[in-house]
Amino acid sequence: MLGDKLGPERVGGSLFRGDSHPVELVVLSFAGEGTGRLNPVFLRVCNSMFCAYDPALSWEHNCIRGPQFYGADPVVPSVPLKRFLGLPVRSRFGIAAGILPNSTWLLPYARRGFDLLTWKTVRSRARACYPLPNWVLVDDGGRGDGPVTVVDPWQGDPRDVSSAVCFGMPSFSPVQWRADMRWAAGQLLEGQLMIVSVVASPEPDWSVEQIADDFALCAGWAVESGAGAIEANLSCPNVCSAEGSLYCDVLSSVRVVQRIRAAIGEVPLLLKLGVFPADELMVEFLRAVNGLANGVTLVNCVTREVLRGDGVPVFGEGYRRAGVLGRSIHRSTVSTVGRVREVIMRDGLSLELAAVGGVSRVCDAEALFAAGADAVLCGSSPAFLPGLAVEMKQAHPEW
């Protein structure tokens, strides 16, 4: 059962921050009611808007302290089992790779009714997070493209939040994440699926074969550690190396997927994708991976300039363009999901579709399911709206 483990548990090894000072990872488990509750010292509130993640603190600090919630865990409605990726699941609603970097984050959200739980992208070696800031709230001015502007503090409805992120896909060392993952897998309830996102960590001179081998190594380790499904992250807008836009190279993507499939056997495999520069490339990609992967996850942010009010890039000149998520990408995500579903149906592909993008209301998920999604995942909204899964189950127990 969730929360049966008592007290803090230390997982060996250390994570090196940007200053090369080791920081031991303490994985905090939860011991029933009253643990992991709101700590007013750490809580970040912008004009009464709650956020479980404190963007003023480092990623490492947030990982250790875990999400900060108001009040007691909610009563999660009982709903019948469904199927996703051929597996029985309590609901086809959950959290995308992002805010669940370890068991300290994953298990409290599992308790709050999120059933598809994607462990934030892990690597075959430790990778430090980029310097602060990593996460800012933004205003897109009602435009579908062009720069977005940082807003601080936010003064609107948290369901209308858009934000920009620039973390650089940090990762704890395999010694740490494998042990933590193995323990977390045993704490989930029937019908909850732990999806583990993996990525390669290529050197500048690596070949496609080496990148594929590194993806496969991580995926194999994740399966050994209890992953119910694997997500290969072929798209990240905030890294400059080869793994960040791999999905745009169809032949290389196929080689990576082949190696992962060989490493994980029959375990379900999702591919995380960004926005394709052209529909023709999207069609070519989907046809090429059909039969190797079980499905795709999209959209992984939309890349836009992220500027302060004075026009200075908030993440630095090297990351003038960064990943934007939340309300501003919802409409385009619905359109993309519809086009992908059309290709899947027209060409008789066997791919399932997990949709991500701007889901903060029941009607947002309704739009994505209507467009053809098999499952709907949230990116940033559970940090602001931790009761969202309960809302979804109350409104649509059939999801």
Of 152, 140, 149, give the one whose Cα is nearest residue 326: 140
At 46, the pLDDT band (50, 70, 90 cuts) reads: very low
103 — phi, psi (to 5°)? -65, -25
Residue 39 lies inside a defined structural domain of this protein? no
Mean pLDDT rounded to a whole number for the chain: 86
Give the total number of structural domains in the chain: 1
* pLDDT tens profile 296-353: 999 978 889 999 999 999 999 999 999 999 999 999 999 999 999 999 999 999 999 9
Of 184, 207, 202, 197, give the one whose Cα is nearest residue 244: 202
Residue 5 lies inside a defined structural domain of this protein? no
Residue 20 lies inside a defined structural domain of this protein? no
Residue 148 lies inside a defined structural domain of this protein? yes
| Bridge partners (DSSP) listed for residue 322 | 304
39 — phi, psi (to 5°)? -110, 110
Tokens at 289, concatenated: 């991976």
Residue 47 lies inside a defined structural domain of this protein? no
pTM: 0.87
38 — phi, psi (to 5°)? -60, 130
Q: How confident is the model at residue 4, as a pLDDT?
A: 33
At 162, the pLDDT band (50, 70, 90 cuts) reads: very high
| Containing structural domain, residue 312 | 77-395
Angle between helices 250-264 and 279-289 in degrees, nearest 10: 30
What is the distance between the terminal CA atoms of the chain, rounded to a whole angstrom? 23
Residue 8 lies inside a defined structural domain of this protein? no
> Does 129 have pLDDT greater than 80?
yes
Residue 213 lies inside a defined structural domain of this protein? yes
At 106, the pLDDT band (50, 70, 90 cuts) reads: very high
Q: Which residue do the tokens 């309830």 mark? A: 189
Residue 30 lies inside a defined structural domain of this protein? no
| Rounded-to-integer distance, Cα 110 and Cα 88, Å | 16
> Does 166 have pLDDT greater than 50?
yes
* pLDDT tens profile 329-345: 999 999 999 999 999 99
| Rounded-to-integer distance, Cα 96 and Cα 379, Å | 5
Q: How confident is the model at residue 244, as a pLDDT?
A: 55
> CATH no. for residue 98?
3.20.20.70
